[in-house]
Structure 1
Amino acid sequence: MKTLIIYTHPNHQSLSFAFLQKVIQGSTENPEISEIKVLDLYEEGFDPILVFNKEKRRRDMHADPKLEKYRHQLLWAEKIVFIYPIWWGRPPAMLLGYIDQMFASNFAYRDKGGLLPEGLLKGRSVVCISSMKGPALYPLFWLHNAHKVLMKKALFQYVGINKVKFFEFGNMESPKGKQEQKLNQIYRYFRRLSS
């Protein structure tokens, strides 16, 4: 199983970075996972800003030469792991900018003229690992599960990815947040993960 990890946090002293290390550790010890690639969007200097003008049209984004490397990564991957914090009830703008550009028409999906498009990234699966300061049930009850709906229905299912697993950890800035327990949960999950 070829695994692409997309890490989105500007601080390598963060809990998100600790989750990244546990994903790598568990994946490395898992004989089902043959290869691992890590894309650190901040370290990479990924430009999340969309630009459309006379020379750069949205309909051509699927062929933008500046994004070719990232398209190859997504096509290569059988499992895609996203690691990010929840800020203001949603993923960071850096990750949303990546999504805006990478999950483009004629690369991630193709319009068929009906209600839903043809998803072109079928056969892949996704794991989202997110953490937040607020309580774990805050997104469910206060935000009507907006984060998961955004990621699973509006994005992944739209492009043909139906197998999506969420780890959404709350109270992560609290001394009672059980951070070590949650880090070990992620390590064990990836150590045992099978396709």
Structure 2
Amino acid sequence: MKTLIIYTHPNHQSLSYAFLQKVIQGSSENPHIEEIKVLDLYEEQFDPILIFNKEKRRRDMHAEPRLAEYRTQLLWADKIVLVYPIWWGRPPAMLMGYIDQMFASGFAYRDKGGLLPEGLLKGRSVVCISTMKGPALYPLYWLNNAHKVLMRKALFNFVGIKKVKFFEFGNMESPKGKQTAKLDRIYRYFRALQS
């Protein structure tokens, strides 16, 4: 199993970074995971700004030379792991800019003229690990599960990825947030993961 970890947080002293380290540690100790690649969007200085004009058309984005390496990473991966905070009920703008550009028509899906497109990234699975200041049930009760709907239905199912697992950790700025136990849970999950 080849694993691509996409990390989206500007601070390497953050709890999100600690979760990234636990993903790497658990994955490194898992005999089913043969190779790991980490894409740190901030460290990479990924440009999240989407530009369309006369010279740059949306229908050509799947072949944008600047994004070729990132497309290769997504095609290489069997499992895609996203580590990010929840800000204002959704992933950071940096990650959304990556998604806007990478999951393009002609690369991630193909229109067939019907109601739904053909997903071109079938066979992969995704794990989303997110942290938030508010309570863990906040997205469910106050936002109608908008984060999970966005990631699972509007994005991954649309491009053919049906297996999506979520770890949404709330109360992460509280002294009673059980951060150590949650970090250990992620480590154990990736150490034991088989598919």
Structure 1, gaps ≥5 residues long? none
Letter in 1 for 2:157: Q
Equivalent residues, number: 195
Q: Structure 2 CA distance, aligned partners of 1:10 and 1:158?
A: 28
Partner of 1:97: 97
The Cα offsets for residues 31-84 of structure 1, whole Å up to 9 and x where unpaired, read as: 000000000000000000001111100000000000000000000000000000
Taking only aligned residues, the RMSD between alpha carbons, in angstroms, comes to 0.2
Paired residues for 1:136-155 under 5 Å: 136-155=136-155
Partner of 1:85: 85
Letter in 1 for 2:150: L
* C-alpha deviation, 1:102, in angstroms: 0.1
The Cα offsets for residues 79-105 of structure 1, whole Å up to 9 and x where unpaired, read as: 000000000000000000000000000
**% same residue:** 85
* SS across alignment from 1:165: strand
Partner of 1:53: 53
Q: Structure 2 CA distance, aligned partners of 1:192 and 1:115?
A: 39
| TM-score, normalising length: structure 2 | 1.00
Partner of 1:65: 65
Q: Structure 2 CA distance, aligned partners of 1:175 and 1:64?
A: 45
Partner of 1:7: 7
Letter in 1 for 2:194: S
Partner of 2:186: 186
* C-alpha deviation, 1:173, in angstroms: 0.1
Q: Structure 1 CA distance, aligned partners of 2:20 and 2:136?
A: 20
Partner of 1:40: 40
Are 2:182 and 1:177 aligned? Answer: no
* C-alpha deviation, 1:127, in angstroms: 0.1
* C-alpha deviation, 1:187, in angstroms: 0.0
Q: Structure 1 CA distance, aligned partners of 2:98 and 2:78?
A: 19
The Cα offsets for residues 123-153 of structure 1, whole Å up to 9 and x where unpaired, read as: 0000000000000000000000000000000
Letter in 1 for 2:74: L
Q: Structure 2 CA distance, aligned partners of 1:137 and 1:55?
A: 45
* C-alpha deviation, 1:174, in angstroms: 0.1
* SS across alignment from 1:39: strand
Paired residues for 1:93-172 under 5 Å: 93-172=93-172
| TM-score, normalising length: structure 1 | 1.00
Q: Structure 1 CA distance, aligned partners of 2:156 and 2:54?
A: 30
Partner of 2:23: 23
Structure 2, gaps ≥5 residues long? none
